[in-house]
Structure 1
Amino acid sequence: MKRVLITAGASGIGCAMGDAFDAAGFEVWVTDTDRAALDHCPAQWHHRVANATDEAAMASIIAEMGHIDVLCANAGIAGPTALIEDVALEDFRACVSVNLEGAFIAAKHAAPLMKAAGRGAIIVTSSTAGIYGYPNRTPYAAAKWAMIGLTKTLAMELGPFGIRANAICPGAVEGPRMEGVLNREAAAKGMTRDQVYDGYASGTSMRSFVEARDIANMAVFLGSDGARLVSGQVIAVDGHTENPDPKV
């Protein structure tokens, strides 16, 4: 049975990925820092408490798996919403660490197992903030742009071993995390939460937020044999973002 590892897999996009890979017949392994959320994961999933930036913990989990067919480097945090002059350096570093270093660590330790098998797929959860500049989101955008550079480099480096690497760039995803972003952005800009929400939605040609399952469905495709020659790609699942900061 094929195995997938999903970091930050106990809730949100990660949990939706777990459900989708489970339905596709994969053995699902998830890591997360939220023990309570992990306890609510399906019983057939392998779940481990681990911070994506804890290299020793992640290395141990990946070694325990024995083989890994698909890695979903999904862990991330939103970071502060503020003008650059108001962003504390420690907050910048924390955001970059979880998003970028977390993906690097997981890929670093998954790659040898994939090389031994002569196949594998690495899927990095970036963001449309990794395609466009996002005002008031300096740490997050910087991290997500860097994750795309990481993905494209992995595709070049690991392709000769039969390993593919792609980045998914979600747009605004319905859920608690985005609600926090909306409320912080509203406070920073002197707007209401609904005004910011409408601005994000109207900035897409589909006039819609994204659901976690939309990201999960793309991840399953990228992890499948149907995507055997899809590598080094940056794929937005965002309802087509025309303007990342519309009417705001």
Structure 2
Amino acid sequence: MVQRVMITAGGSGIGLAIAKAFIESGARVHICDVDDQVVEKAAQDQPGLVATRVDVANENAVDRWFDRALEDLGGLDVLVNNAGTKGPTAYVEDVKLGDWQACIGVCLDAQFLCARRAVPVMKKQGSGSIINISSTAGLYGYGLRTPYAAAKWAVIGFTKSLAIELGPYGVRANAICPGSVDGVRMDRVARAEAESRNVPVEVVHQEYVQSQSIKRFVKPEEIADMCVFLSSPASRMVSGQAIAVDGHTETFHIGN
């Protein structure tokens, strides 16, 4: 059976790695991303990939994307809610409400909007896998990143609640909690924290690595591998889980 897959923020980084992994497995894949150039490049570089520009925090945009993708795919076997934003890097008293809401909108509201469209399709066919990307910040908290951490904790609660609702229909829901993932996005996070703390960016990078048992950043492909596993028959009794792919976080990083 050829899997039908939809991935948010699939044009670069973790999302693109996930898209590539599913394409390599033989799946039909639709992605969206908010960046026009990223969408165009992903479609050009990955034969068979259907890419659309979508702001996943916008209800109407999400609905239009699902209308087109579901018509093309004829169903949906896997939804990967990958879209996220780092949000502001600041102490809570310095966070503006608009910045808080924008972070929650992309990291949490978008997962609700997409799951709401995917669930009726999966329930009707009696199968499916929803994978929500959370973070180790959703397991431990995250100093200077309160909006992000709040959203990622909520993702886990949302996922476990989905698993309860969907289990009787043969549909599974799980959350993946990446640690520090190698790439441009983590570089931006480290630079923002270094600036906020007035320390060299190399110090921040080293602190992240030292907080793990496996002393290196996670590769995007390692998150992708877990997504493919959680969509395979090998994980048919895995649901409602928050699975860390982080090299084992011993003491979660908090900057002072």
**TM-score (structure 2 length as normaliser):** 0.94
Kindly indicate whether residue 214 of structure 2 is the aligned counterpart of residue 213 of structure 1: no
**Matched residues, number:** 248
**Aligned position for 1:54:** 58
**Aligned position for 2:26:** 25
Q: 1:247 to 1:95 in 2, by over 3 A?
A: closer
**Aligned position for 2:173:** 165
**Aligned position for 2:189:** 181
Aligned to 1:4, the other structure's residue is in SS state strand
More moved, 230-239 vs 185-194: 185-194
Whole-Å separation in 2 of the counterparts to 1:245 and 1:4? 34
Checking the alignment, whether the CA contact within 8 Å between 1:202 and 1:246 is kept in structure 2 is no
> Percent identity over the alignment?
48
**Aligned position for 2:9:** 8
Structure 1 residue 247: deviation in Å? 7.5
AA of the residue aligned to 2:61: A
Kindly indicate whether residue 47 of structure 2 is the aligned counterpart of residue 43 of structure 1: yes
Whole-Å separation in 1 of the counterparts to 2:75 and 2:63? 13
Residue from 137, 145, 166 that aligns with 2:145: 137
Structure 1 residue 183: deviation in Å? 0.7
Whole-Å separation in 2 of the counterparts to 1:133 and 1:147? 13
Whole-Å separation in 1 of the counterparts to 2:250 and 2:102? 29
Structure 1 residue 138: deviation in Å? 0.3
Structure 1 residue 48: deviation in Å? 1.1
Which runs of structure 2 are paired with 1:27-176 in the superposition (5 Å)? 27-41=28-42, 42-64=46-68, 65=70, 66-176=74-184
**Aligned position for 1:192:** 200
Aligned to 1:40, the other structure's residue is in SS state helix
Whole-Å separation in 2 of the counterparts to 1:210 and 1:98? 23
Structure 1 residue 62: deviation in Å? 2.0
AA of the residue aligned to 1:35: D
Whole-Å separation in 1 of the counterparts to 2:176 and 2:50? 24
Whole-Å separation in 1 of the counterparts to 2:124 and 2:148? 34
Checking the alignment, whether the CA contact within 8 Å between 1:203 and 1:246 is kept in structure 2 is no
More moved, 63-72 vs 157-166: 63-72
Kindly indicate whether residue 245 of structure 2 is the aligned counterpart of residue 237 of structure 1: yes
Whole-Å separation in 2 of the counterparts to 1:142 and 1:217? 26
Q: Structure 2: where are the runs of 5+ without partners?
A: none
4+ long deviations beyond 6 Å: none
AA of the residue aligned to 2:235: A
RMSD of aligned residue pairs (Cα, Å): 1.1
Checking the alignment, whether the CA contact within 8 Å between 2:144 and 2:255 is kept in structure 1 is no
Aligned to 2:143, the other structure's residue is in SS state coil
Q: Deviations over 1:24-73 (max 9, x none)?
A: 11101101111111111213111111111122222232233231100000
